[in-house]
Amino acid sequence: MSITQNPVENAEVVAEASSSTESLDVQTVTSQDVARQQEDMLAQRAQKRKERWEKNHILAEEHNKAGHELFRKKDYAGAAAKYIDATQLWSSNSRYYSNLADAYTKSEQYIEAAHAATRALALDPKSILARFHRGTARLEQRLLKAAKIDFDTILKQDPAHNEATAALATVASLIEASSKLGSHQLSEPEPTITVDSTSNTDVDFDFPHYNDESLELASMSDSSDCNHVGNGIACRFYNHQGCARGSECTFSHAPDEKSVRDDMGKNVCIYYLLSTCKFGEHKCVYAHTKIFLSSTRGWWNDEAQIAKVKGVLEMAEKKVREQRALDSLIWKLETSKARKARAANKASGKAQKSAALNREEVREKGATPSTGKIEPLKPTTEGGGETLKTNCRSSGPESVDADKENEQRVSNSGFTDYELNDPASQEVKPWEDGAQVVQDVLSY
């Protein structure tokens, strides 16, 4: 390729060369490349998770040892708290649950002890110690049949287990005592206990059985994203392209009851796995892909399990709808009751106010509140004598005001100018002793 003196031709030659170079740099991305990239991403994430697990397991062992120390000091409540911390860091370790069951039994929390022992047996069905703890907790609750099953199972595997032998003898004596009342033999109890009155399924007190396989827990992510719940609403960006806000995001990055967490930490829509998601890939806040889900383990790989999960979800949704309807009805009833109470209080307030106004009006008119009738005026004592004032006769013209009347009484020995006419007509002077008596008689 030669460069000429013409600048236009030179530009064309350079453009052609660069174009050909770009075409050579373009590489075709194949499905194998995508698969290899995904494997690398999974490997990196698995390595980080392994490092976190190793760190958590070390911390869990420290909590377990601290629990042992407290247990030896007979601080059973403190020991139980330490064992719980250990189970939260290493949830698949059956020893921690067995230790927790023992601590619960010592602190007389027998129901919790039985639950912890059952969890330990689910993780390790062949644990003799966990089964003995459960049998002891059942015995203390007087669940004699269930306790007998646990101790029988232990003695089948270890006939020399002295503690189980002694506990089984105690159970047998209690069962015998419960079947007698004094010297009378009571009827035999029902041989089986059913789940409910409509079911024929017997309760399996031996579960988990000694020869059952250990429960394999799904590897739960313990990353910061897994623990970031935010406001409880799933973050669409996190479950699709990725959320740039991280722990500062308002929404949740954690798995919930509507999703399954894949190996890349994304939350896959359960309804997508059931082929029933009504939102679709672009509108749903959860991921719609099985690429990073296990292709061998998980209910989504088994049609029978899929049908079972679908049935459970339908039942759960039905109960949620029923509960929502019940809550709505209760709210309406409470609202109606409160509204009626407010109306009654308002009416009562108006009635009290009206009664108060009526009493005030009656008081101003001189009537009794009960009858509304005008009472006769009571006698009053003025100027040393008793003067009866009635509606028949007034003490003088209404034009005489109080000040003027007082002046007249001072000048006339207790009489007004108008009242002087009555004693004067009887030839009685107002300063004489009988003047007031004459006035009273004439005014009557």
Give the whole-angstrom CA distance, residue 413 versus residue 382: 12
Q: Is the pTM of this model over 0.75?
A: no
Q: Domain boundary at 145, 177, 209, which? A: 177
234 bridge partner residues: 252
Same structural domain, 63 and 96: yes
Q: Select the more confidently predicted residue: 180 or 119.
A: 119
Same structural domain, 65 and 123: yes
Establish if 205 belongs to a structural domain: no
Q: Is the pLDDT of residue 341 over 70?
A: yes
Same structural domain, 146 and 131: yes
CATH number at residue 62: 1.25.40.10
Q: Is the pLDDT of residue 21 over 60?
A: no
Question: In sequence order, which ranges of 366-412 are alpha helices (DSSP H)?
Answer: 402-411
Q: Domain boundary at 301, 334, 366, which? A: 301
Same structural domain, 119 and 71: yes
Cis omega (within 30 of 0) on the bond before 125? Answer: no
Establish if 122 belongs to a structural domain: yes
180-181 and 184-185 beta bridge pairing: antiparallel
Q: Domain boundary at 318, 347, 375, which? A: 375
Number of domains in the chain: 4
Same structural domain, 81 and 168: yes
**First-residue to last-residue Cα distance in the chain:** 151
Q: For a pLDDT cut of 70, what percent of the chain falls above it?
A: 65
Look at the chain and count its residues.
444
Establish if 244 belongs to a structural domain: yes
Establish if 213 belongs to a structural domain: no
Q: Residues 225, 228, 232, 233: what is their CA dihedral angle, to the nearest 10 degrees?
A: -30
Q: With cut-offs at 50, 70 and 90, classify the pLDDT of residue 115.
A: very high
Establish if 49 belongs to a structural domain: no
Q: What is the mean pLDDT of the chain?
A: 76
**pLDDT for the residue numbered 172:** 92
Query: What's the average model confidence in pLDDT over 225-230?
Result: 73
Same structural domain, 163 and 91: yes
The pLDDT tens digits of the residues spanning 400-432 come to 566 677 777 766 666 666 666 656 655 556 666
Which of 410, 426, 427, 409 lies closest to 418 in space, CA to CA? 409
- Parent domain of 102: 55-177
Q: Is the pLDDT of residue 150 over 70?
A: yes
Question: In sequence order, which ranges of 197-302 are alpha helices (DSSP H)?
Answer: 224-227, 236-239, 270-273
CB 269: neighbour CB atoms within 10 A? Answer: 22
Q: Select the more confidently predicted residue: 308 or 83.
A: 83
Same structural domain, 340 and 394: no
Establish if 288 belongs to a structural domain: yes
Which of 335, 366, 369, 371 lies closest to 355 in space, CA to CA? 369
Q: Select the more confidently predicted residue: 109 or 92.
A: 109
Same structural domain, 243 and 264: yes
Establish if 406 belongs to a structural domain: yes
Give the whole-angstrom CA distance, residue 131 versus residue 432: 122
Same structural domain, 235 and 274: yes
Query: What's the average model confidence in pLDDT over 304-324?
Result: 83
Same structural domain, 239 and 351: no
Same structural domain, 322 and 272: no
The pLDDT tens digits of the residues spanning 80-89 come to 999 999 998 8
Establish if 285 belongs to a structural domain: yes
Same structural domain, 268 and 358: no
